[in-house]
Amino acid sequence: MTFRQAQREVQLTGRGRTNFSPVLAYLEENRDYDGMIVYTNGYVSCPVLPQNRRTRIMWLFVSEGNYRSCYPKLQHLGQGAYLKANAVQ
């Protein structure tokens, strides 16, 4: 499918409260990964602690504010960081 076709045919649904359970389930079945970076706004339902503790998770938040308000509920699942608002590229 080309990008132009996708623009006409693909519809986004949802928009909020990301569910990371499918990603963590994938990691349970595919244990070859030793790390994963999750870029998020942090507004998620707290996923269940995976049995696969080999794969380390880094929660990368879109802002310091989101990090401060959302990371405490996710810190048992891995490390956290945020992007600075005026980061030089």
pLDDT digits (tens, 9 = 90+) for 47-62: 777 776 778 889 999 8
Pairwise pLDDT comparison (15 vs 83), residue with the higher score? 83
Task: State pLDDT tens for residues 13-71.
Answer: 555 667 778 888 888 888 888 888 888 888 877 777 777 677 888 999 989 998 998 88
User: Which of 23, 14, 64 has the alpha carbon at shortest distance from 41?
Assistant: 64
Give Cβ neighbours of residue 41 (< 8 Å, ≥ 6 apart): 61, 62, 66, 70
**pTM, 2 dp:** 0.68
